[in-house]
Structure 1
Amino acid sequence: MQLPRLVTLLAVLGLSTLAQAAPTHYPLTLQNCGMPLTFQHAPDSAVTIGQAGTEMFYALGLGDRLVGTSLWFNDVLAQYKVQNDKVERLADNDPSFEAVIGKRPQLVAVQLEWMVGPQGVVGTREQFHELNIPTYLMPSDCEGKDNLVGADGTRLEPFRIDSIYNSISQLAEIFDVQARGERLNSELKARLAKAAATVKGKDLKDTSALFWFSSADLDIDPYVAGRKGIPDYMLQTLGVRNVVQSDEEWPTVGWETIAKANPTFLVIARMDRRRFPADDYQKKLEFLRSDPVTRNMDAVRHNRIVILDAHAMQASTRLFSGMETLASAINGFDLAP
């Protein structure tokens, strides 16, 4: 098929999808993390606590509804910079309750329950709802998870990728942009399938890995990805074993224990925040190559280290680019014994 005809066909199919998407019928009531939320109309304004929700808003074309954002790990993607420049950054990390309600949002979208929840550092859902401000929690952080156990919560069930698609669909329904949500989910599913296909046929049965997020200090145990969480899902999807067996989201594990497990490769987080010394991935690399315990690990000696955006290790739209980066890196590794 000639290119002009193909472009025309894709445009027609896109318009068809837009035409078929059913509009939201208000009042809309939906269940969110054990709590009913009712909307009489699409919110005119919103605040996000968490980069995942912020970039979902941008991907859905809802940047004009955002009046405040907070809790960032990486700089915004280039394609969202124009939208993001118009939104006030309330805090790089956790904002105050007063800063959030001061924007008078008609919705607060929250990535992590430890920010807004029973022991939320920003506040509880009830505090917001008493002011008639609904809070939408990302299902990925409340479904099959106990956030009262462990520093970052404990997974009772393995993370499900459908929780991301569900967030996109529900936000699209709340704001009456269902066609955009359907299109975004279709694109993400296709990217995930393509990433998995990248390593298909590669013998990975004896391959293992470790995700290192950060460390409160470089000379103490690091925060690494536990079993059942988002990084574990990424590894399982690609056929790789996680050497960490804890069900905590991001447990601390000693380097001696990690070295004994001797993972085939390491994935280390790159982030633009500087909350801890090891937020700087260059310092992670320096530590791995100089520490007497870590420098003798196979992954370090053979330079099997993958640099991945921290945000790609979370339940966000960046998880899919993270899968692409990870699959490409694995495919390029020489895993011969």
Structure 2
Amino acid sequence: MSRSPRSLRAPALILVTALALSGCGADVDSSAGGKESASANRHYPVTLDNCGERRTFDKAPERVVTNDVGITEIMFALGLEDRMAGYVMPDDKGSVDEVPWKGAYDRTTWLSKKRINKELVLDARADLVFAGWNYGFNEGEGFTPEKLKELGVDSYLLTESCRNGRSKMRGVMPPLEALYTDLLNLGKLFDVEDRAEALVAKFRKQVADARAGAPQGADRPRVFLYDDGRDKPFTSGAYAGPHDIITKAGGDHVMKDLKDSWTAVGWETVVERDPEIIVINNYGDTSAEEKKRFLLSYAPLAKVSAIRNKRFVVLDYVQLVESPRNPGAIEELVKEFGGAAR
């Protein structure tokens, strides 16, 4: 096929322009194919500390797949939906119709309401999976960062889910610091550090302002987080979101000595520690109201203060796992704890 004179002139003009710019000392990066600025190229490679592992990235990921609602909203809060291939999330984690990131949800592909897996990641042509241990990654199902690496797909681990070196217990830092760490890490990875730093500063102020009105000293209510479970309650230890949310809202988290994130305990421990308020995690096939009815009807709990006084607070799942909604959850609990009967 013959080419028109106009199409023949275009490459020549580009070449002349490039030569002229280089003669003037401009930094022209021919390897980027014109897609990235010289400034952006100077940002990379970047090295991050993720769950104790030093990770180096030569460029920003362009097709990220996230797993679960909190992780997805961390990306949205940083304005990174344009870097996402999509998200995996069950539809039992609460409505997203009125959240600040509704537009980001609308612009991003909901890849699956089932479990994340290697086939889904490969079909999405992902270059990075943002998930966590028990937030998608699971040795039993063969879906791990190591397996993804074998397939040429990178990963970033949610800091709340970091293994702490003792068996499969999770957690290496206070929960809110885990959130701030991930925001700052991702800010660096995607070259939006100013955005990440501003968001962390906003959250720190939001939490500090909420704490100013929180109960103090003897007014602090004893609080238990109930996720689910009949034979044994599933709850939060010191390294999951509810610990900081309860504590910074002025509550005394009765399971603060558990050096784990999300874990099961015995009912006898709950009875012994006699919580005055029970926070119910609202998600899953069992509604918050059904969970409340079970707690009120379970005979071994009959003498627990929260049960006798019917003191319950319901928060959505995404408010309690690591997410940008954690500071708002603290504000909500401050209001609830302020009226706690002692």
Q: Which runs of 5+ in 2 are unaligned?
A: 1-38
Describe how 1:1-337 pairs up with structure 2 within 5 A: 25-72=43-90, 73-76=93-96, 78-112=99-133, 115-116=136-137, 119=139, 121=141, 123-142=143-162, 145-146=164-165, 148-149=167-168, 153-155=169-171, 159-201=174-216, 203-204=218-219, 207-215=221-229, 218=230, 220-244=231-255, 245-271=257-283, 273-274=284-285, 277=286, 280-335=287-342
Deviations 1:152-194 (A, max 9, x none): x344x55252221121111122112222212211111111111
Which position in structure 1 is the counterpart of 2:27?
A: none
Q: Higher Cα Rg: structure 1 or 2?
A: 2
Give the CA deviation at 1:249: 2.7
Change (3 A) 1:292 1:195: same
Change (3 A) 1:169 1:249: closer
- What letter matches 1:186 in structure 2? A
Deviations 1:29-65 (A, max 9, x none): 3232243433333222210023222101111111122
Which position in structure 1 is the counterpart of 2:14?
A: none
Q: Distance in 1 between matches of 2:300 and 2:151?
A: 53
Q: Distance in 2 between matches of 1:114 and 1:181?
A: 23
Deviations 1:168-226 (A, max 9, x none): 11112211222221221111111111121121556335x311100112xx4x2221222
Runs of 4+, deviation exceeding 4 Å? none
When normalised by structure 1's length, the TM-score is 0.79
Give the CA deviation at 1:282: 1.0
Change (3 A) 1:222 1:29: same
- What letter matches 1:333 in structure 2? A
Q: Which runs of 5+ in 1 are unaligned?
A: 1-21
- What letter matches 2:227 in structure 1? F
Change (3 A) 1:263 1:158: farther
Fraction of identical pairs, as percent: 27
Does the Cα contact within 8 Å between 1:109 and 1:135 map onto a contact in 2?
Answer: yes
Q: Distance in 2 between matches of 1:120 and 1:51?
A: 22
Q: Distance in 2 between matches of 1:120 and 1:175?
A: 31
State the SS of the aligned residue for 2:265: coil
Change (3 A) 1:130 1:291: closer
Q: Distance in 2 between matches of 1:246 and 1:104?
A: 39
State the SS of the aligned residue for 2:153: coil
- What letter matches 1:212 in structure 2? Y
Deviations 1:80-126 (A, max 9, x none): 22221333333335212110121111221113366336x26361212
Change (3 A) 1:268 1:250: same
Does the Cα contact within 8 Å between 1:42 and 1:174 map onto a contact in 2?
Answer: yes
